[in-house]
Structure 1
Amino acid sequence: MMETLEEAELCFPQINTSCRKHTRPQSESMLIYILLSFVSLFTVILNLLVIVSISHFRQLHTPTNILLLSLAVSDFLVGLLVMPFQILLTEPCWFLGDLVCALYYFVPFITINASVINMVLISVDRYVAICYPLRYSTKVTQKSVKICVLLCWIYAVASSFLFLSENLEQPGRYNSCYGQCMINIIRAVYLLVLFFILPISAIVILYLRVFVVAVSQARAMRSHITAVKLQSSVTVTVKKSELKAARTLGVVVAVFLMCYCPSYCVSLSGFNLTLGSPTSDFISFLPLSNSCINPLIYAFFYPWFRKSVELIVKLYILQPQSCEASLL
């Protein structure tokens, strides 16, 4: 009887070196699966709406929105490819084989790194727009932003192969038991520096500078609003739109930091979480949830996104010349 019970707790009862299953209540497991599946589906739909909106409507083809489009693509891939496999990783039993395990980690590594770099580019975009407004239109063009986005994705893909290539040579070599999905990240210290410490530091420094300049400009506009002439009122309007964009993207950056910092801090502290525990599942899924939150921020702060979603849902985009619709 004891032997049968022990075999029932194994991922692969016929193999002695098999990993053990978690004794998690079935109701709790079902709740986790349903919740994570809903978040995954919601992430795919929302980011697909962002991608279609910015890609289809010509009025939205601005340098800043191109960066948002790149971020939405990485968030879409997280919802489509990363989240479903992350649901499987809430249990220690991996049934898809060692090779699929090694290949799987390339996708989140690429998408998460691309998201981090996109956040840096967004911070640089707002920094130039607020701190150097007269140079913004000449320095930040659609062509230059597209080149930066392309380099961002090339860098994310190349770095993934650099840090994870060893796992493809002998898949499963780092598993402690049969049915586990573990990999080794080469040069983990360099990884933390390149993809966490340096980017996060750059984002924080740039947005602190943007915040200081934005506050000073807002005060200046309020103090001189009564003396503004017709010609300068156009300048004030442009500044207000840039400041509003900076506030919105500042919220995006702040939420990004709140979602990503806990998992990195746990990694830096060396604290080991019990696999399958609620805390471990929360820390693992928190960075991924940022991909679902970003479109919600756009919907709350950007009227053009709400209007474009309405046109998409009504299938207006199927009509000729729909790309010329006015959204701003």
Structure 2
Amino acid sequence: METLEEAELCFPQLNTSCRKRPRSQTEAIVIYTLMPCFSLITVVLNLLVIVSISHFRQLHTPTNLLLLSLAVSDFLVGLFVVPFEMILAEPCWLLGDLACVLCSFLPFISVPATAGNMVLISIDRYVAVCDPLRYPTKLTQKTVKGLILLCWVYSVLYNFLFLFDNLRQPGGFNSCYGQCVITVNGTVDLVIRFIIPISAIIILYVRVFVVAVSQARSMRSHVTAVKLQRSLTVTVQRSELKAARTLGVVVAVFLMCYCPYYGISLSGYSLKMGSSVNIVMFILVILNSSLNPVIYAFFYPWFRKSVKLIVTLQILKPLSFQAKVL
């Protein structure tokens, strides 16, 4: 009997050792089969987005730079965050208290970085649709690059503050030895990293929708305008509205995938790494990162053309960066 009890402990030689958490067959399949598959899909799809926008000169636009930043954050989720989460999901934490906090750092970066990129994308669409004449001067490539850098710096610095108590007292929130518990202020995190950015996104997109409806009515009422001028105006406006609709789908998917996590965080939830709830929440994060490139494939012809050129290795040809993909 004593041997059985000792076998259930993470560290049988310690009286303060945690007991090994039993794992169901379903949970094991999710962790060791589904998560690696999602990881591979996320890495490959977002790498295609990164290569496409980086390589082809025609795609070097402010809007696409924002999509590139979003793809980088999604790529990091698949490449680094998934393996870390698989380690954190083990029944016993064997790497020490400081490693527990450090392994949690990178996963937490992806959330504010993704939310920040979504806000920037919403601002881009707002200016493009609501103030199209001044859009080229307001959101230049230099300005967008500065905003992207600011977004990533904010994400890293906020995480230091977010995990400060855990870094100051590694393992201070564990109830037994062999446990990895990260305690966060769920209310503060909910407000700063979710409510504020999501409110900004919703407000901006409501404004874009109102202006889009107004423009549609205006185009229908001015059928007697000069044909060439009307054709050019309609083409430009339709292009901007189509981009707004596509990015609106991206934002909607983001909301559906991240709302459950922040709903739980509202109560000041002590995040126990490896718990079933944490695994489900994390799968939603991975799903969001893998769905974004799929959305681009459905809505953006340039992405499909770029992928074809990449897969067929035509990007290795000289001057391939000048290929017409738009």
TM-score, structure 2 as length reference: 0.92
State the Cα distance separating 1:121 from its structure 2 match: 0.5
State the Cα distance separating 1:266 from its structure 2 match: 1.4
The verdict on how the C-alpha distance between 1:274 and 1:137 changes in structure 2, with shifts beyond 3 A counting, is closer
**In 2: Cα distance, 1:28 partner to 1:153 partner:** 33
Which residue of structure 1 lines up, in the alignment, with residue 7 of structure 2? 8
One of 205, 208, 211 as aligned partner of 1:210: 208
More moved, 88-97 vs 156-165: 88-97
Which residue of structure 2 lines up, in the alignment, with residue 51 of structure 1? 50
The verdict on how the C-alpha distance between 1:126 and 1:48 changes in structure 2, with shifts beyond 3 A counting, is same
The verdict on how the C-alpha distance between 1:225 and 1:14 changes in structure 2, with shifts beyond 3 A counting, is farther
Please tell me the residue identity of whatever aligns with 1:139. Answer: K
One of 192, 197, 200 as aligned partner of 1:199: 197
Which residue of structure 2 lines up, in the alignment, with residue 327 of structure 1? 325
1:95 is the counterpart of 2:94: yes
Identical counterparts, % of pairs? 69
More moved, 249-258 vs 206-215: 206-215
The verdict on how the C-alpha distance between 1:252 and 1:170 changes in structure 2, with shifts beyond 3 A counting, is same
The 8 Å contact of residues 173 and 183 in structure 2, kept in 1 or not, is answered as yes
One of 267, 280, 283 as aligned partner of 1:282: 280
CA deviations over 1:141-191 (Å, ceiling 9, x no partner): 101100100111111111112222333333222211111111233x55433
The 8 Å contact of residues 316 and 322 in structure 1, kept in 2 or not, is answered as yes
One of 248, 269, 283 as aligned partner of 1:250: 248
State the Cα distance separating 1:280 from its structure 2 match: 4.5
State the Cα distance separating 1:226 from its structure 2 match: 6.8
Please tell me the residue identity of whatever aligns with 2:248. Answer: G
SS at match of 1:183: strand
State the Cα distance separating 1:135 from its structure 2 match: 1.2
The 8 Å contact of residues 273 and 279 in structure 1, kept in 2 or not, is answered as no
The verdict on how the C-alpha distance between 1:84 and 1:257 changes in structure 2, with shifts beyond 3 A counting, is same
More moved, 263-272 vs 38-47: 263-272
The verdict on how the C-alpha distance between 1:225 and 1:324 changes in structure 2, with shifts beyond 3 A counting, is farther
Please tell me the residue identity of whatever aligns with 2:167. Answer: L
Which residue of structure 2 lines up, in the alignment, with residue 39 of structure 1? 38
Q: Where does structure 1 lack aligned partners over 5 or more consecutive residues?
A: none
**In 2: Cα distance, 1:277 partner to 1:177 partner:** 15
CA deviations over 1:209-249 (Å, ceiling 9, x no partner): 11111122223334445755112311110100000000000
Please tell me the residue identity of whatever aligns with 1:112. Answer: V
SS at match of 2:266: helix
TM-score, structure 1 as length reference: 0.92
The 8 Å contact of residues 129 and 136 in structure 1, kept in 2 or not, is answered as yes
The 8 Å contact of residues 260 and 287 in structure 1, kept in 2 or not, is answered as yes
The 8 Å contact of residues 19 and 92 in structure 1, kept in 2 or not, is answered as no
Please tell me the residue identity of whatever aligns with 1:162. Answer: L
The 8 Å contact of residues 219 and 234 in structure 2, kept in 1 or not, is answered as yes
The verdict on how the C-alpha distance between 1:283 and 1:188 changes in structure 2, with shifts beyond 3 A counting, is closer
**In 2: Cα distance, 1:27 partner to 1:286 partner:** 17
**In 1: Cα distance, 2:206 partner to 2:141 partner:** 25
More moved, 28-37 vs 134-143: 28-37
Which residue of structure 1 lines up, in the alignment, with residue 144 of structure 2? 145
Number of residue pairs aligned between Structure 1 and Structure 2: 326
**In 1: Cα distance, 2:236 partner to 2:172 partner:** 57
Q: Where does structure 2 lack aligned partners over 5 or more consecutive residues?
A: none
Please tell me the residue identity of whatever aligns with 2:141. Answer: Q
Which residue of structure 1 lines up, in the alignment, with residue 109 of structure 2? 110
SS at match of 2:183: coil
Which residue of structure 1 lines up, in the alignment, with residue 19 of structure 2? 20
1:312 is the counterpart of 2:313: no
SS at match of 2:181: coil
The verdict on how the C-alpha distance between 1:146 and 1:270 changes in structure 2, with shifts beyond 3 A counting, is closer
**In 1: Cα distance, 2:244 partner to 2:26 partner:** 44
**In 2: Cα distance, 1:282 partner to 1:310 partner:** 34
Which residue of structure 2 lines up, in the alignment, with residue 302 of structure 1? 300
Please tell me the residue identity of whatever aligns with 1:122. Answer: I
The 8 Å contact of residues 50 and 305 in structure 1, kept in 2 or not, is answered as yes
SS at match of 1:103: helix
**In 2: Cα distance, 1:72 partner to 1:276 partner:** 26
Please tell me the residue identity of whatever aligns with 2:317. Answer: Q
**In 1: Cα distance, 2:154 partner to 2:271 partner:** 31
Which residue of structure 2 lines up, in the alignment, with residue 170 of structure 1? 169
**In 2: Cα distance, 1:232 partner to 1:311 partner:** 35
The verdict on how the C-alpha distance between 1:43 and 1:325 changes in structure 2, with shifts beyond 3 A counting, is same
The 8 Å contact of residues 21 and 91 in structure 1, kept in 2 or not, is answered as no
Cα RMSD for the two superposed structures: 2.2
The 8 Å contact of residues 54 and 66 in structure 1, kept in 2 or not, is answered as yes
The 8 Å contact of residues 43 and 291 in structure 1, kept in 2 or not, is answered as yes
**In 2: Cα distance, 1:103 partner to 1:275 partner:** 13
